[in-house]
Structure 1
Amino acid sequence: MIAMLKKIVAALRAECRTRGVYLTVIMNISHLVGIIRGFFYKFIYAKNIKSSIYSLQVNSRIEIFNRNSRMIIGKFVFIRKNASIRIDFKGELNIGDKVFINDNCNINCVNKISIGRNTKIAPNVCINDHDHNYKDKSDDHLIIGQVIIGENVWIGSNVVILRDTIIGDNAVIAAGSVVKGNVPADTLFLNKRENKSIDFATPTKKLEVI
């Protein structure tokens, strides 16, 4: 305990030197509010959420719609502002230690989503383990799969991860990619894109009307 307190004090001193005392205080108040919000959601979903200390920043929310749904949150997970996490049916969402989820991310789980430790997720990322079954008129309106994201993965901004996707350890997903299928470990994944410029400033030749 004493060793941990010494580390905290040393970290605060270092932050004060680099950021300034005022901004360090503001930043840590924000972190404290996030931790309190995390405990609040753990309290209201006591039978569904298993967690250690984690931070859920302002306007982020967790919605669990089924008593059979489960969410496991590792140590020191940090979820920034305006993130939306929804779990339904027998969905199980597992977020590993020290995962960072940036602003405006959406995670929708009805079966299984796993995010490995030390993974970093940039803003506006959407992760779904299911699709809407628009071809079938029956009551089974969802096509259910799973998403497995390995450890130490970097996911760029505006990425969409679809059902039945496995991303290996240390992979990098380029910004704006749509991911479905297997991404091997230690690789960079990106969708093929073309840069094309169309000149709209040059006036076109007018057709003569006879």
Structure 2
Amino acid sequence: MIILRRIMKEFVTQSANRGIYLTVVMNLSHFIGIMRGFLFKVVYFKNIQSTIFAMQSSSKIEIFNKHSTITIGKFVFIRKNASFRLDHGGKLTIGDYVFINDNCVINCAEKISIGKNTKIAPNVCINDHDHNYKNIQDQHLVTGEVTIGRNVWIGANAVILRNTHIGDNSVIGAGSVVKGNIPANCLYVNEREEKIIPYNKPKVAHG
């Protein structure tokens, strides 16, 4: 009953600002997103723990290992064409009221956590692993962890790499490549410059 009253109050407020027709259209889109979220929960019923969350059109969850799990908090909203891929027993946790914008990609092979009220802009990529390019005979991944705190804002086109911790209330500038420890309550801006770093080419066994 409390939730119903809250929904009606929000509908009245939105109608006053947006107009009744556009408010109905917008909320219908939200409802369809919630149904899509429920569908993924049914498909991966052993791997997804959640309450109510929404995934808009073309967004998808792919889980390729029985030990991989995703925990999604309440009222998480995922916009269009986002992709979540879990494998190798990866654990993905998304806190309450997280907003994930269009075209975001999350690849989880070990552990990724996103704190409550965090907002992620379009085209952000989060990876907790790298390919072991230094050893072409060993195709295993090099994995780590990614921890994103509460109330974090991640700007468009940012790339978050393995072994990264972002503290609460911090802002990641658009286009940044992030690796390492970012303290709480700060603005991170990545000033990039071109570098070419050679590495020893591994020897290939012939036989």
Residues 1:84 and 2:87 aligned together: no
Counterpart in the other structure of 2:175: 176
Give the percent of matched residue pairs that are identical in Structure 1 and Structure 2. Answer: 64
Match for 1:176: what amino acid? G
Counterpart in the other structure of 2:200: none
Match for 2:89: what amino acid? K
* CA positional deviation for 1:192: 1.9
**Secondary structure of the equivalent of 1:114?**
strand
Match for 2:9: what amino acid? A
* CA positional deviation for 1:24: 0.6
* CA positional deviation for 1:193: 5.4
Counterpart in the other structure of 2:55: 56
Q: How many angstroms apart in 1 are the aligned matches of 2:80 and 2:56? A: 5
The within-5 A match list for 1:19-58 is 19-58=18-57
Asked whether the equivalents of residues 121 and 154 of structure 1 are also in contact (C-alpha less than 8 Å), the reply is yes
Out of 181-190 and 129-138, give the one that drifted further: 129-138
Q: Give 4+ residue runs of structure 1 displaced > 3 Å after superposition.
A: none
* CA positional deviation for 1:10: 1.4
Q: How many angstroms apart in 1 are the aligned matches of 2:90 and 2:109? A: 4
Asked whether the equivalents of residues 48 and 67 of structure 1 are also in contact (C-alpha less than 8 Å), the reply is yes
- Give 5+ residue unaligned stretches, structure 1: 195-210
Counterpart in the other structure of 2:116: 117
**Secondary structure of the equivalent of 2:136?**
coil
Counterpart in the other structure of 2:95: 96
Q: How many angstroms apart in 2 are the aligned matches of 1:141 and 1:91? A: 14
Match for 1:67: what amino acid? K
Q: Deviations over 1:123-155 (max 9, x none)?
A: 000000000101113344311111000000000
Residues 134/193 of structure 1: CA separation in 2 closer, same or farther (3 Å cut) = closer
TM-score in terms of structure 1 length: 0.90
Which structure's CA Rg is the greater one? 1
- Tell me how large the CA RMSD over aligned residues is: 1.1
Match for 1:99: what amino acid? V
Asked whether the equivalents of residues 128 and 161 of structure 2 are also in contact (C-alpha less than 8 Å), the reply is yes
Residues 1:143 and 2:139 aligned together: no
Counterpart in the other structure of 1:8: 7
Match for 1:22: what amino acid? Y
TM-score in terms of structure 2 length: 0.91
Asked whether the equivalents of residues 96 and 116 of structure 2 are also in contact (C-alpha less than 8 Å), the reply is yes
Asked whether the equivalents of residues 86 and 108 of structure 1 are also in contact (C-alpha less than 8 Å), the reply is yes
Q: How many angstroms apart in 1 are the aligned matches of 2:17 and 2:35? A: 26
The size of the alignment, in residue pairs, is 193
**Secondary structure of the equivalent of 1:34?**
helix
Counterpart in the other structure of 2:164: 165
